[in-house]
Amino acid sequence: MTVDWPRNDYSRVPFSVYHDPELYTLEMERVFRGNCWSYLAFEAEVPNPGDFRTTWVGDTPVVVSRSDDGQLHAFVNRCSHRGAQIVREVSGHCKTDHVCIYHRWCYSKKGELIGVPFRRGLQGQGGMPADFDMQAHHPKALRLANYHGVLFGTFSDAAEPIETYLGEFGTGMIKRFMHKPIKILGYTRQLIEGNWKLYAENLRDTYHASLLHEFFVTYGVDRATQKGGVRMDERHRHNMNYAFSNSDTQSQAEQAYAGISGVELDRMRLSDQKILAYRPEFADGLNLATPTFFPNAIIIQINNSLSSRQIRPKGVNAHEIFQTLFGYEDDTEEMTRHRLISANLVGPAGLVSMEDGEAIEIVQKATRRETASHSLVEMGGLGPIQNLEHRVTETPIRGFWSYWSELMGMEPEGGIR
Ligand code: FES
Ligand SMILES: [Fe+2]
């Protein structure tokens, strides 16, 4: 199977990549079970022995669990018996072992099969064959890496060490967010009827932020006129859009957006400004930082709202965005409240995030019958994929595709990296 790339710099993306079920199946193998690391959860969600959190790698359900000796484990959340999901809660604490509800097979906190009801039958009748070997039927384990409290998993023995995978850019950004112990504030989930890669593109699309998101541009949270830009790792798989707060003026913005249909900077006024309040808290002075981690995650700061978002593919036509909101352990109660107010910007009904779901769904719908055609990804220029000190660009989208193609073995001839 190949992808017919019209150009070798990924500035044309064939619409078939969002709709082809065969390609989707290959992605689950070559991307999500290939040589890359997927974001799983935060260590702060499983602080004590017995704690667990369910998560996904591609469309494979996974449990992250802390065993009694304090070690962290990740294993496929599928019963070795007849395939039911073993753990069904989002997160929790397990006193003794994990029990599959269907026929009550038991699994240790390390993910080993340790109990089978009626294994020896009843009064000499039934039961499993005498040579049934429980050890041969543990759920598949993943390699797990804990990088400064962010947990990643991989099915591959050949995946590079996590530090190398994240690179200087990725490790630096994780250290930025995880510079002190975090506190989990809550979760949101959102089902979007669109291919998962449309979300991955959206996260790398600086261009749309101040055009689609009227709230951003009207209230100056994120505008193209702010100082900022895009950064990527060397292989262009992870990337970030960033901006400095208060680095533009109202008149600069008014000039820049004058004449753009549908964008009116003075259309709305907030009678309560609390939601816009921003308290500088990072040494780098950014009010917006959005490092993405190929293939499935972003850690995102919009003002003082902090969260991770995980992309969970649900078949070729849908994905779920699972968001984990966090603050810091040493936040005052008042600061936590402030973070939760800022969090009204994000999530399924968020004043900003809501529109991303809609944008993705209208792309999915409108391209369904146009699979021989392609999108245009030229904003910010053609040719080399590089870091930029401005925000009128979608170059990181081409970076995403270049690495995706490499993993899939579907690079165009002379494909740029
Ligand atoms: S499917 Fe889990 S015990 Fe039967
Ligand atoms: Fe967006």
Local confidence pLDDT in tens for the 417 residues of the chain = 899 999 999 999 999 999 999 999 999 999 999 999 999 999 999 999 999 999 999 999 999 999 999 999 999 999 999 999 999 999 999 999 999 999 999 999 999 999 999 999 999 999 999 999 999 999 999 999 999 999 999 999 999 999 999 999 999 999 999 999 999 999 999 999 999 999 999 999 999 988 999 888 888 788 899 999 999 999 999 998 898 988 999 889 889 998 898 888 877 888 888 998 999 999 999 999 999 999 999 999 999 999 999 999 999 999 999 999 999 999 999 999 999 999 999 999 999 889 999 999 999 999 999 888 999 999 999 989 988 888 899 999 999 999 999 999 999 999 998
- The span from the CA of 235 to the CA of 399, in Å, is 8
Residue 413 lies in a domain: no
Q: Which residue, 115, 145, 175, sits at the end of a domain?
A: 145
Index of the ligand 1 atom closest to the CA of residue 100:
2
- Give the pair of three-digit tokens for residue 298: 């972003």
Please choose from 99, 102, 119, 138 the residue to mutate so as to test ligand 1's pocket, defined by most ligand atoms within 8 A of CB. Answer: 102
Question: Is the CB of 82 within 6 Å of ligand 1?
Answer: yes
CATH number for the domain spanning 381: value is: 3.90.380.10
156, part of any domain = no
For the chain, the residue count is 417
A 10 A CB-CB count for 118 gives 12
Which residues are bridge partners to 146 per DSSP? 151
CA of 79 to the centre of ligand 1 (A): 6
- Number of structural domains (the chain) is 2
Q: Are 77 and 84 in contact (CB under 8 A)?
A: no
171 and 141 within one domain: no
Angle between helices 395-408 and 21-30 in degrees, nearest 10: 80
37 φ, ψ to 5°? -100, 135
pTM attached to this predicted model: 0.96
> Which of 334, 223, 332, 216 minimizes the C-alpha distance to 268?
216
Q: How far is C-alpha 281 from the geometric centre of its chain's CA atoms? A: 23
**What is the number of the ligand 1 atom nearest to the C-alpha of 83?**
1
For residue 311, the one-letter residue type is I
CA 269 to chain centre: 33
| The two structure tokens encoding residue 76 | 């496929």
Q: H or E element: which one contains 39?
A: strand 38-42
CA of 268 from ligand 1 middle (Å) equals 55
CA distance 361 to 69: 45
Kind and range of the H or E run holding 305:
strand 305-313
124 C-alpha vs ligand 2 centroid, how far in Å? 63
The strand pairing partners of 375, in sequence order, are 13
pLDDT value, residue 262 = 84
Q: Specify if 73 maps to a domain.
A: yes
Nearest C-alpha neighbor of 87 from the set 95, 170, 79, 383: 79
Cα–Cα distances in angstroms (integers) from residue 59 to residues 77, 80, 120, 296, 394, in the given order? 11, 17, 35, 11, 27
Best residue among 76, 82, 119 to mutate for probing ligand 1's pocket (most ligand atoms within 8 Å of CB) is 82
- Nearest alpha carbon, ligand 1 atom 1: 82
Closest ligand 1 atom to Cα of 103: 3
3-class SS of residue 316: coil
- In a domain, residue 369? The reply is yes
DSSP structure class, residue 125: B
The torsion angles phi and psi of 206, rounded to 5 degrees, stand at -70, -35
Closest ligand 1 atom to 82 CA? 1
Bridge partners of residue 309, in order along the sequence: 298, 323
| Boundary-marking domain end, from 114, 145, 176 | 145
* Whole-number Å distance between alpha carbons of 156 and 34: 6
34: which residues sit within 8 A by CB, 6+ positions away?
Answer: 156, 407
Residue 1 lies in a domain: no
> Which ligand gives the minimal distance to the CA of 118?
1
Pocket flag, ligand 1, residue 107 (CB < 6 Å): no
Residue 388 DSSP symbol: B
Q: Are residues 199 and 123 in the same domain?
A: no
171 and 117: one domain? no
Q: Are residue 108 and residue 175 in the same domain, yes or no?
A: no
238 and 111 within one domain: no
Q: Give the per-residue pLDDT at 236.
A: 93
Q: What separation in Å is there between the alpha carbon of 206 and the centre of ligand 2?
A: 8
132 CA to centre of ligand 2 in angstroms: 52
Could you tell me the CATH number of the domain that includes residue 117?
Answer: 2.102.10.10
On whether residue 8 sits in a domain, the answer given is no
Q: Which of 145, 179, 207 is the last residue of a domain?
A: 145
Cis amide bond preceding 295, omega within 30: yes
The reply to whether 122 and 208 lie within a common domain is no
Residue 221 pLDDT: 81
Residue 66, C-beta contacts closer than 8 angstroms, at least 6 positions apart: 46, 47, 48, 49, 50, 51, 52, 72, 73, 109
Structure tokens at 209: 């932020």
Question: Has residue 161 been placed in a domain?
Answer: no
Q: Which atom of ligand 1 is nearest to the CA of 79?
A: 2
Q: Note the pLDDT of residue 411.
A: 96
> DSSP assignment, residue 93?
E
Residues 324, 272 share a domain: yes
Strands of the sheet with 60-66, listed across from one edge:
72-76, 60-66, 51-57, 91-93
Tokens of 260: 């753009």
Pair (392, 246) in one structural domain? yes
From atom 4 of ligand 1, which residue's Cα is the shortest distance away? 103
Q: Which ligand is nearest to the CA of 99?
A: 1
Distance CA 111, CA 366 (A): 43
Query: Do residues 274 and 308 share a domain?
Result: yes
Give the per-residue pLDDT at 67.
Answer: 98
Do 141 and 172 fall within a single domain? no
286 lies in which domain range? 167-408
Give the number of the ligand closest to the Cα of residue 117: 1
In this structure, the answer to whether residues 262 and 339 fall within a common structural domain is yes
Q: Does some domain include residue 231?
A: yes
Asked if residue 102 has its Cβ within 6 Å of ligand 1, the reply is yes
**Nearest alpha-carbon partner for 235 in 148, 155, 165:** 165
Instruction: From residue 63, give the alpha-carbon distance in Å to each of 112, 168, 370.
Output: 12, 29, 38
Distances (CA, A) of 24 to 59, 314, 390, 408: 10, 10, 34, 11
Q: Are residue 349 and residue 202 in the same domain, yes or no? A: yes
